[in-house]
Amino acid sequence: MVPSSDDLEAFYGRLTVLRHTLARRRDAVVRANAAVLGEMSALAKDWIRFSQRLRVAGIIAVPTLASCDQNMTELFVARAGGRRANYYRRRLDSVEVVFTEEIIVPVLRLEGDPHRVAARQLRDALDPYLTPPEVAYAEEALKCVSESCLRAGIVLLWAAAVTRMHNSIEQGGFAPFNAALTACTARRGYPFTIVRGQGPIGARAELQKVADFIMLVAGMDLWHYDGQAFNELAALLQARNNAAHPGMASPNLLDVQQFATKLIERVFRIVPR
């Protein structure tokens, strides 16, 4: 996980304070028991941790990381003291001079990337409504959104919604769902004709084989939403299907945000947990 810009700024603050402290000592020898050495050792260790995480993320130029690593390692090795304050200060200077532009700003750019921002906003919006099994799908969806894999994001968000519907049907027992299917079968016209031929369900495994569209039709009876809500849900399923089939859709970020908003409104707020 990439260290946050807030963590890096806090680190930068400590580094600056330490450099000032050492600058006041000019070229005096820093004795082995000086408190500043303990702080410097801790700072160097923290940097090595940050550096490894930044290197994996691949957002900082390797020579910059290598140079900072070199300076920080030298500080860590010299933690026993006995060197002049200038020795330590020069190394801190070298890190400080590149830290904001070459380390903090690239991390800021990553954090402020619109897709990552959207993923965080979606997480904030979804969090109050999701159960742990749904969160598993939603988190994968948000990872996809962060990485600009928007079609995959839509498919996985729909999976979270289907998880809610399946769990709700299972929690309520299969009888009400079967009754809803029967009621739909008795009605004429589209979309109820689609439900015809769908036999009763007695187990989760059977439920998983029921087409999502049939579940949405039965949902009008089961979860008491109206035709407009059904219509929107059917459009969401269509969006999901388009996202899953080659050449059918090229959603943008706003489409995904709208998709998630509608799912919250039409599924997570309505279908009981």
Partner 1 sequence: MFTTGSQWTGSMYDDGVKQLDIILELVNKCPEKLREQCFAILLQGYVDSENSRGLAPSLAMIAPSSGHAIPAPEPETDGGIPTDVRNRFAALAKRLGVNQDQLETLFDFTADPFVFHPIDAPGSSNADKTRNVTLLVAIRTYLATGSWTADWSEVKLRCVDLNCYDAANHAAYLKKGKGQLFRTVDIGKTIELSATGRTNAEQVLKGLIAST
What's the closest the beta carbon of residue 232 comes to partner 1, in angstroms?
7
Contact between 39 and partner 1 by CB under 8 A: the answer reads: no
Q: How far is CA 224 from the centre of its chain?
A: 33
C-alpha dist (Å) from residue 73 to 43, 47, 56, 91, 92: 10, 9, 19, 10, 11
- CA-nearest of 108, 24, 25 to 60 is 108
Contact between 140 and partner 1 by CB under 8 A: the answer reads: no
CB of 38 or CB of 202, closer to partner 1: 202
Contact between 185 and partner 1 by CB under 8 A: the answer reads: no
Fill in the per-residue mask, 89 to 128: x = in contact with partner 1 (CB under 8 A), - = not in contact. -----------x---xx--xx-xx-x-xxx-xx--xx---
Contact between 13 and partner 1 by CB under 8 A: the answer reads: yes
Q: Are 239 and 249 in contact (CB under 8 A)?
A: yes
Dist CA 101 CA 134 (whole Å)? 40
Dist CA 50 CA 109 (whole Å)? 17
What's the closest the beta carbon of residue 81 comes to partner 1, in angstroms?
30
Q: Write the Ramachandran bin of 26: left for phi over 0, alpha for psi from -120 to 50, otherwise beta.
A: left
Give contact residues for partner 1 (rule: CB under 8 A): 4-6, 9, 12-13, 100, 104-105, 108-109, 111-112, 114, 116-118, 120-121, 124-125, 155, 158-159, 162, 166, 187-192, 194, 208, 211-213, 220, 226-228, 230-232, 234-235, 237-242, 244-245, 247-249, 252-255, 257-258, 261
